[in-house]
Structure 1
Amino acid sequence: METIDIIQPKNLVYKKPDLMNDNDMHYCPGCSHGVVHKLVAEVIEEMGLADKAVGISPVGCAVFIYNYIDIDWQEAAHGRAPALATAIKRLWPDRLVFTYQGDGDLACIGTAETIHALNRGENITIIFINNAIYGMTGGQMAPTTLLGMPTATCPTGRQADIHGYPLKITEIAAHLQGTAYVTRQSVHTVAAIRKAKKAIRKAFENSMENKGSNLVEIVSTCSSGWKMTPAESNKWMEENMFPFYPLGDMKDSSKDNK
């Protein structure tokens, strides 16, 4: 049989960001974290801020971002990343300071720190990975778990009369006076990945220009916690998560001022 070499044009070959090290990714197949890590690294590189970037990693699956992107990192207690980010940015106002948090960390134990940092207009960016479940600790119900969605702690599905309603942090943030840019994106397709990257860049630029606080939510999958294959998770997210957590910008003060 004849062998044909397939040569890919150079401009289509993926180049790993220089800021990402060679550590093997430990995330489950289909997890959104790895894709978002790549976007964060690319944006920091392209902005030329590798030496001025300080990331805050909390507790949960999101904590491991420090193991893959070679910038300065601080680890915060569970939910306290926005408070730590506030201190760092106020001490070093010339730095790019951002947090990288999951929904259990940000929207549950860290609700107070998140809301008040955003409302104060701290010049930081909060990157919020929302997969509607506690991924690291066994798939328990999170504040963002959808009604009817089964988890380890609500195996028959979340019920409003017992567990309350899912918390829409991004919609709340959009109504706060201190926020400059609030958006909800995803990374389930190439087009979505491009939009998410632009959103992260805009948030980082706002932070460096002292325009106020920024929140970038990424609606994500958790194949292990959802007990689905990666393909099934993507489909389930599109059919169930997106209607409740619609994608797009919720607030953009740069447009509001025009």
Structure 2
Amino acid sequence: MNQGLIDKYLRKDKLPHIWCSGCGNGIILKALVEAIDASNINKEDICIVGGIGCSSRAAQYMNFDTIHTLHGRAIPYATGIKLANPKMKVIVISGDGDATAIGGNHLIHACRRNIDLTVIVFNNNIYGMTGGQCSPTTPKDARTTTSEGGNLCRDFDICKLCDAAGATYIARSTVAHYNHLVKSIEGAILRKGFSVVEALTTCPVQYGRRNKLKKPSDMINVLKNGGAENEKLKIGVFKDENEDEYVEQYLKYISTQVII
């Protein structure tokens, strides 16, 4: 990241970051900053909402109005912010466990309502900060602290889940496809409605070392080369549509109500 973007968008007093060597979260943070800069939205009109976990730490490094919320509750907080100030561009930073496990119901219904939020899901296939447990996106047979003999459950596809629930912009990218990641996030920010970017990233400490991916570069190569073999690794913008946005519809509705 160039010095100009650091000066403009990051809280330098919070640096250096606490992420482990080889973690891809810093790459996603950089991509998000570049996407915000390219969107030409005034930073005073942006609010960053983070949940709990390694990914959500990114919000604390960003020099915006930011809020650090409860585990799994980033989307409800973001919804409240958007309803209170509809002109704000509200961006949610969340992990695969935070967004799709404890926060999974909130994710589904925010998609269904098509609330104008941008959600960046940092997907490293595991609960990184809270102990290395299995998450909803941990691949079948993968080893974690709660599946030492191999995960028995199938992982679900975040993009397909959000599509079925009604999100209007859905993309997947990876930390191994940086330019694509920036463009995917920029598209999500500029699209009115509920936008989701699944950003596949690396966790060499909790996931890689348990699953024969000893070096961060091994994990990057899986992301770079795995799309042809694994549907859940394929990147792209899978949906980009216009639909009625919930907050606009809500404001129109309450403007017609007579208060007695």
TM-score, scaled relative to structure 1: 0.84
Report the equivalent of 1:132: 125
SS of the equivalent of 2:237 reads: strand
Instruction: Determine the C-alpha separation between the residues in 1 that align with 2:4 and 2:160.
Output: 34
Per-residue deviation at 1:15?
4.0
Which residue pairs with 1:107 in the alignment? 100
Alignment counterpart, residue 179 of structure 2, candidates 194, 202, 209: 194
Query: What letter matches 2:63 in structure 1?
Result: D
Contact persistence 1:56–1:81 (CA under 8 A): yes
Q: How does 1:173-252 map to 2 (within 5 A)?
A: 173-177=162-166, 179-188=167-176, 192-206=177-191, 211-226=192-207, 227=209, 228-238=214-224, 243-245=230-232, 246-252=234-240
Amino-acid identity (%): 29
Residue matched to 1:91: 84
Q: C-alpha deviations, 1:100-119, integer Å up to 9, x for none?
A: 00011011000000110111
Q: CA deviation at 1:67?
A: 2.5
For 2:4 and 2:19, the matched residues in 1 are separated by: 17
| Alpha-carbon distance between aligned partners in 2 of 1:48 and 1:213, rounded to the nearest angstrom | 18
SS at structure 2 position matched to 1:41: helix
Find 2:32's aligned residue among 30, 40, 58: 40
Give, in whole Å, the separation in 2 of the partners of 1:110 and 1:202.
24
**Cα RMSD, aligned residues only:** 1.8
1:169 aligns with 158
What's the offset of the Cα at 1:45?
2.8
Is the 2:50–2:57 contact (alpha carbons within 8 Å) kept by the matching residues of 1?
Answer: yes
C-alpha distance in 2, partners of 1:16/1:196? 20
Secondary structure in 2 matching 1:197: helix
Native 8 Å contact 1:49 1:96 kept in 2? no
Asked whether the equivalents of residues 171 and 250 of structure 1 are also in contact (C-alpha less than 8 Å), the reply is no
Match of 2:110 in 1: 117
Whether the aligned pair in 2 keeps the contact of 1:44 and 1:53 (CA below 8 Å) is: no
| Gapped regions of structure 2 (runs ≥ 5) | 243-260
Write the distance in 1 (CA, Å) between the matches of 2:21 and 2:151: 26
Distance in 2 between the 1:45 and 1:253 partners? 23
Matched residue count: 230
Q: Would you say the 8 A contact 1:184–1:217 is kept in 2?
A: yes
Distance 1:49 1:43, change over 3 A: farther
Structure 1 partner of 2:140: 147
**TM-score, length-scaled by structure 2:** 0.83
Give the alignment partner of residue 31 of structure 1, picking from 12, 23, 27. Answer: 23
Partner Cα separation in structure 2 for residue 78 and residue 219 of structure 1: 20
Q: Separation in 2 of the partners of 1:225 and 1:244?
A: 23
What is the CA-CA distance between 1:37 and the residue it aligns to?
Answer: 0.9
Aligned with 1:19 (options 9, 24, 28): 9
Per-residue Cα deviation, 1:132-170 (whole angstroms, up to 9, x for no partner): 1110122111110001111111112112xxxx3112121
